[in-house]
């Protein structure tokens, strides 16, 4: 079966592995976004809109991104297509919760692609800056959450009225 995915310019034709399941759920008109790493070895496609965008100010995200925070678009696992052998992974065990976080990255250039979390087994995040065109991510359209504000750098400012948490919103 062939679906026309609207909402992206130009219209994209896609034969996805999950389209039959989505059609059963009444979802036949779904946007997709593509992205990848710096060197081009890792390419991925996400289907639909993210459940939310998390801006994480924890010290691990500061270290893994090399900046003040990580910006992650959050998707259900079945909405992200990445070849299984494309990524390398590093497991970090939180000294606070004792749970793991797997950081996935390109084995050649090291680009951070996203993370999976023990605390939320059905999701995968995608680093916002790795989308071919990240300008579609919009706080007016998507739910943004700012987490681990207790670790935020003093020079990192939040938008007025932003949903924010001193730690993670899930405990």
pLDDT at 143 over 70: yes
* Rounded average pLDDT over 63-84: 94
* Rounded average pLDDT over 139-154: 94
pLDDT at 84 over 60: yes
Nearest-angstrom CA–CA distance, 44 and 49: 15
- At residue 30, φ and ψ (nearest 5 deg) are -125, 130
CB-based contact 75:50 (threshold 8 Å): yes
Highest mean pLDDT, choosing among 14-23, 106-115, 150-159: 106-115
The two beta strands, 3-5 and 32-36, are: unpaired
Residue 171: per-residue pLDDT: 54
Residue 168: per-residue pLDDT: 74
pLDDT at 73 over 90: yes
Distances (CA, A) of 161 to 68, 73, 144, 154: 20, 20, 11, 18
Residue 169: per-residue pLDDT: 66
Q: What is the pTM of this model?
A: 0.81
Token readout for 171 is 């405990």
Considering the domain delimited by 34-151, tell me its CATH architecture. Beta Complex (2.170)
> Which helix (H) or strand (E) segment is 64 a member of?
helix 59-65
Per-residue pLDDT band for 106 (boundaries 50, 70, 90) equals: very high
pLDDT at 35 over 90: yes
**In the chain, which segments carry CATH 2.170.150.70?**
34-151
């Amino acid at each position: 079966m062939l679906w026309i995915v609207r909402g992206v310019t130009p219209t994209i034709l896609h034969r996805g592995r999950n389209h039959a399941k989505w059609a059963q759920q009444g979802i036949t008109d779904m946007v997709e976004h593509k992205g990848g790493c710096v060197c081009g070895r890792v390419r991925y496609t996400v289907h639909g809109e993210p459940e939310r965008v998390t801006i994480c100010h924890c010290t691990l995200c500061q270290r893994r991104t090399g900046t003040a925070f990580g910006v992650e678009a959050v998707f259900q696992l079945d909405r992200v297509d990445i070849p299984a052998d494309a990524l390398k992974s590093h497991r970090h065990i939180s000294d606070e919760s004792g749970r793991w976080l797997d950081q996935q990255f390109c084995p050649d250039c090291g680009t951070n692609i996203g993370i999976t979390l023990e605390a939320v087994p059905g999701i995968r995040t995608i680093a916002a800056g790795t989308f071919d065109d990240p300008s579609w991510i919009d706080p007016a359209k998507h739910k943004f959450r700012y987490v681990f504000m207790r670790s935020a750098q003093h020079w990192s400012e939040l938008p007025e009225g932003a949903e924010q948490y001193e730690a993670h919103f899930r405990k």
